[in-house]
Amino acid sequence: MMLQMSQISTSFGRPRIARSGHNDTYFANDNVTRRWWRLCPSLLPSLHASFFRISNSSKEEAVNTKPPVIRATDNQLNLADIDSVKVIGKGNGGIVQLVRHKWTGQFFALKVIQMNILESVCKQIVRELKINQSSQCPFVVVCYQCFYDNGAISIVLEYMDGGSLADLLKKVRTIPESYLAAICKQVLKGLIYLHHEKHIIHRDLKPSNILINHRGEVKISDFGVSVILSKSSGQQDTFIGTYNYMSPERISCSNHGYVSDIWSLGLVMLESATGQFPYPPADNFYELLVAVVEQPSPCPPPDQFSQEFCSFISACLQKSPNDRQSANKLLKHPFLSMYDDLNIDLGAYFTNAGSPLATF
């Protein structure tokens, strides 16, 4: 009578077998096992080996099993579960640290902002940050969790191992048009998401708030943080963000909308192409603000850049917001598609630039 292995295991349960120590014979420990031993004694050695392999395999799997990767939607991060690695940035009222989760080994960026205001106001800010930063967009940095702890607001963000566009510019000084077009596409897609899905004006778009990684991804960071923090200090909405990249209508205290971010984008792209801030150095920030409002918009030297790039910058840096194009329209601009046939590899470009944040 022949029995399959599956029949034995399902019909009689897992057998308990022990060596007799004499001529490699086996004996059964109970009546059930004796039944199939009498039916198929030749299977005992192979069954015995199989059971030991299964047992050892299960032990190895248990040892190698790691906790599942934390996702932004899990809402399970705790400050006590992360270890600080090093400080990777400063600004906007706080510091940014590279941190590592103790159990999963994941890296995150932890932004800590000290707040000298009532605890109830801080908790309200945390609630608003959670709402504003609950993004699921591949062109916006993921916010995993926000905390209020010991007088500070802590924001756990996706870690971008290439640093920021500002870090990249320190390494390469200027970025070729072909790579700028690929970078700008992703930034515009992030702005489209913020403007039309989240109904958020960034208000502080600049090279240090555009982050990159070794996979060639470009993501917008710090959206919504400045405007929320201003509510706690009573600062006017007009002067939220970095003055250098502020649009003329904001400086003039006029009504401003989503296209104020487009002005900032134009300055960032022009700075990235030329290697210097588009406006000449000023003795103080008031001189800069006057120059932005009263002087003609900056433009790239036409003898050094393509007509398409010059046209794109002009579309971004129209003094009147009514003449400035939206992110949706700019995404269709010829400059962004003129290098498509080159199959630009941003990941290789960022990696070869050797960001100081990529190793630690």
Q: Which residues are annotated as a binding site for ATP?
A: 111
Catalytic residue among 24, 30, 161, 204: 204
Strands of the sheet with 94-101, listed across from one edge: 82-91, 94-101, 107-114, 152-158, 143-149
204 is catalytic: yes
* Other beta carbons less than 10 A from residue 267's beta carbon: 25
Which residues does the annotation mark as catalytic?
204
